[in-house]
Amino acid sequence: MENPYLDNALRYLRQTLAGLRCAFSLKLPAPNALHPEADTRKLSIAICERTPQEQAMEYHFAQGQFLARQERWDDLALMLRSLDHQRATTPGGTPVAEVLAQAARADAVDCARAAVQQGDVQGALAPLAALEEVLADHPGDHTVGLVVAMAHIDVGWVWRGKALSEEMPPERRAAFYAHFRSASQIIDQFDPFAQQSPAVAAARCALLPAEPRPSSRVADDYEDLIDLDPQCARHMRDLGRHLLPRWYGSYARLDLEARRTTARTHDIWGGGAYVWVYLDTLASDPGTLEHLDGALFAEGLHDILERRPDQHTVNLLAASLAFIQSRRSPLGGTLARVAACFDCVVRDHLREVHPMVWANVPPLDTLQPFASSPEPLARGKARAMAVLSGLFAEDIRKNRDIRFDPDGLHITG
């Protein structure tokens, strides 16, 4: 039988303990400093260059691309529909249906991207016209419609690039909106709740950049998506970024939706949704820190790690927190709580480094669906080792050995 008084007492105790950890936390050096004086030979941690997440992404992408190239659209649609209904994800929490859909349109989008680079509007439309023919052969199939619509969205972003809407040259602006209109015409045929399709709901959210009044839709569209797939943290992270002032929200609205999402998903995440909504915003916009409830954030981290103790999640949280606290100084107030949370995540939960996770923090600020980075593995490994050597710099200077293994952290010497 539930005891609300006991629940409240435990919650208060948890927040108090989090505050104490903050009060006695280390003043962490900036993670982007390389700490040349630190002997990294004293730091031992496994580097997992090909994680279960990356293996799963590669497998499902190859699977989707193969079926599309073989024109086995019926098989692809059946697989997409099944995995979407199951809310299947990779070990790192990426919806598998999303990976399959991206793979199925990848060749067409690559061809269109090459045409865009030449400024060829008609050339960019040609590969998408081939996908439109597939959709015509599968009328009413929301999975095939999803592939075609997301292809239009991808190509629309190629035309837009990193420019703000008002900064786009007229011809690029026209192409951007034309592709998003085509995508909207497809997606509007399908009800994500009737289809039980988080992928369709996510596509509706992806259409926001071309909406005439996106600020009036952003909260409702993401609420639909998160209600359909509350286990997926990625949706909450995307909600947070879309609610930044530079997009369709404000700091006050961001905090409101973080709290509302936390209340709606409390049976699944505890207080974790508060962290997920804020996580990427803190990395990309330091102004959000002034509005963060540090106690709720610390409690939410505890709840996430209690429910998702896997090393992908641990690396994501550690890398994000390290980046956040490196952007502001001195350490005090809410930032001290963030630094203490980073310290706890590393010391209590980290067992191995996932370089690709560290390489991709912070996430793309533009919400574009694709990215390219030179030598991400090397960059991610260097960033992680620099952060860890900074955290344990005092121990290393005292000639202590820092070792992470499956049993946890060991400091000897």
- Residue 301 falls inside a structural domain: yes
- Residue 127 falls inside a structural domain: no
Look up tokens 């996106």; give the residue: 214
Given a cut of 70, the residues of the chain with pLDDT beneath it are 1-39, 164-166, 328-332, 364-374
Would you state the pLDDT for residue 90? 97
| Residues in contact with 238: Cβ distance below 8 Å, sequence separation at least 6, in sequence order | 205, 222, 367
Q: What is the pTM of this model?
A: 0.88
Q: Which token pair is 394? A: 């005092």
Spatial distance between the Cα atoms of 215 and 257, rounded to a whole number of angstroms? 13
Q: How many domains in the chain?
A: 1
- Residue 232 falls inside a structural domain: yes
Q: How deeply is 163 buried, as exposed, middle or buried, from its count of CB atoms within 10 A (0-12, 13-18, 19+)?
A: middle
- Residue 163 falls inside a structural domain: no
- What distances in angstroms separate CA 132 from CA 139, 147, 232, 275, 362, one per listed residue? 11, 10, 30, 40, 35
Would you state the pLDDT for residue 333? 81
Would you state the pLDDT for residue 41? 81
Would you state the pLDDT for residue 364? 56
Would you state the pLDDT for residue 286? 87
| Residues in contact with 316: Cβ distance below 8 Å, sequence separation at least 6, in sequence order | 92, 357, 361
Question: In which domain, by residue range, is 262 found?
Answer: 212-308
Q: How deeply is 363 buried, as exposed, middle or buried, from its count of CB atoms within 10 A (0-12, 13-18, 19+)?
A: middle
Would you state the pLDDT for residue 214? 96
- Residue 289 falls inside a structural domain: yes
Would you state the pLDDT for residue 371? 42
User: Which residue from 115, 114, 196, 204 is spatially nearest to 153, judged by alpha carbons?
Assistant: 204
